[in-house]
Every structure is written in C-alpha cells, then in structure tokens.
Amino acid sequence: MAVQYWLMKSEPDEVSIDDLAAAPKQTVPWTGVRNYQARNFMRDMMRVGDGVLFYHSSCPEPGIAGIAEVASTAYPDETQFDAKSKYHDPKSTRESPRWQHVDVKLVRKTRLLSLKEMRAAPALATLRTLQPGNRLSITPVTPAEWKAVMQLLESA
DNA sequence: GCCAACGTTGGC
DNA sequence: GCCAACGTTGGC
C-alpha cells in the first residue's frame, strides 16, 4: 500500500521540533489528543512509516517546522490515567481506554514553512488544516499536497 | 486578549 | 435524539 501523509499540530511550548530532535531515539509519544476524529486517524488509519508534517501552532510563527514519520501503531495514552495530568480523563478506564496515540519520529528538521507562505501557495489551497474553521490537530495530507510542501521547503 | 468556529456535554 | 450552553482551539 502507498505511503500515507499527515499533518500533526504541536504547540512548541509543549513539544517543539527541537524537543523532538533532542528526544531519545528522536521519538516522542503523541500524547494528549482528546478529539475523537484525531484519535481515530491515529488508531484506525496510521501505519508505521507514514509521513508527517510537523506543524507548530499557537506560537509567534505558526508553520511547518520539520518532517517526521509515524513510528508505532496506536496504543493507550498513559496521561489519561494520571490524575495529576492536565490530560487526565476520569471517564476512561484501564479496561477500555478511551484515548490512544502513536509514536512520532523525526526525519529531519526543515526551515520554517510559515502559515503565511502555505496560504499563499496555490497547490496547498486544498490542505485540510488551512480550511476556514478547521481546528483538528491531526489531518490527512494528499500525496500532491505533500509533494508541494517538499518543493516549497526546497525553495527559498 | 479577542473572537469565530466547532466539538462536547447534559437536561429534557 | 435535540439543542443550548459551555469549553477549547488557534490565528490575529
């Protein structure tokens, strides 16, 4: 089957591209997703080796900061059981965990492809995360969109 | 800090 | 199962 592509948003205050680069094995568990659609993408759709656009959100310069890949299939998110975590979910149980996530591994840090630049690129007009009102933290990326991002990263 | 969009919750 | 209220997201 062909490789699939995703865009995953992270707040740099939580996990930045540099944090990913500094992590053991340059891999982090993508914990804290508390949206069913985003969870379903990870649980049902992602496969090891899928391409990931690592996107910085809620920061001074939003945009794509690097390339990563899916490094595991989905498994239960430990933070949902941690009463001290801000991601604690009292309604979730060990017997039937509500939240799952995959691991994400750095492929390479890139120049910052800013949100502004992304919006200006006709080839990215269809990108799910750029659609008005879209707040999903994980969205699918088409092969054409992925290719367009790679080309933009090589320019400038 | 504002605000629009939108997902979730909970009463009925 | 509807829907209003509420909370969160995320760019500006």
**Distance between CA A62 and CA A81 in Å, rounded?**
31
Shortest-distance nucleotide from A136 CA to C1': C9
Calculate the CA A43 to chain-centre distance.
13
Q: How far is the CA of A149 from the C1' of C5 (A)?
A: 40
Which nucleotide in the DNA or RNA is closest to residue A37, CA to C1'?
A: B7
Q: Where are the alpha helices (DSSP H) in A27-142?
A: 36-40, 115-120
d(CA A52, CA A30): 12
Q: Which run of H or E residues covers position A19?
A: helix A17-22
Domain spans of chain A?
5-145
pLDDT value at residue A155: 83
A35 strand B contact, CB < 7 Å: yes
Pick left, alpha or beta for residue A90 (phi over 0 → left; psi -120 to 50 → alpha; otherwise beta): alpha
Predicted confidence band at A1 (pLDDT cuts at 50, 70, 90)? low
**pLDDT number for residue A83:** 85
Q: Is the CB atom of residue A134 positioned under 7 angstroms from any atom of strand B? A: yes
Q: Tell me, in Å, how far CA of A148 is from C1' of C5? A: 42
**Burial zone of A36 (CB within 10 Å; 0-12 exposed, 13-18 middle, 19+ buried):** exposed
Say whether the CB atom of A24 is under 7 angstroms from strand B: no
Please report, rounded to whole angstroms, the spatial distance between the CA atom of protein residue A77 and the C1' atom of nucleotide B3: 32
pLDDT tens per residue, range A8-38 = 999 999 999 999 999 999 999 999 999 999 9
For the stretch A102-129, pLDDT in tens is: 999 999 999 999 999 999 999 999 999 9
CATH number of A5-145: 3.10.590.10
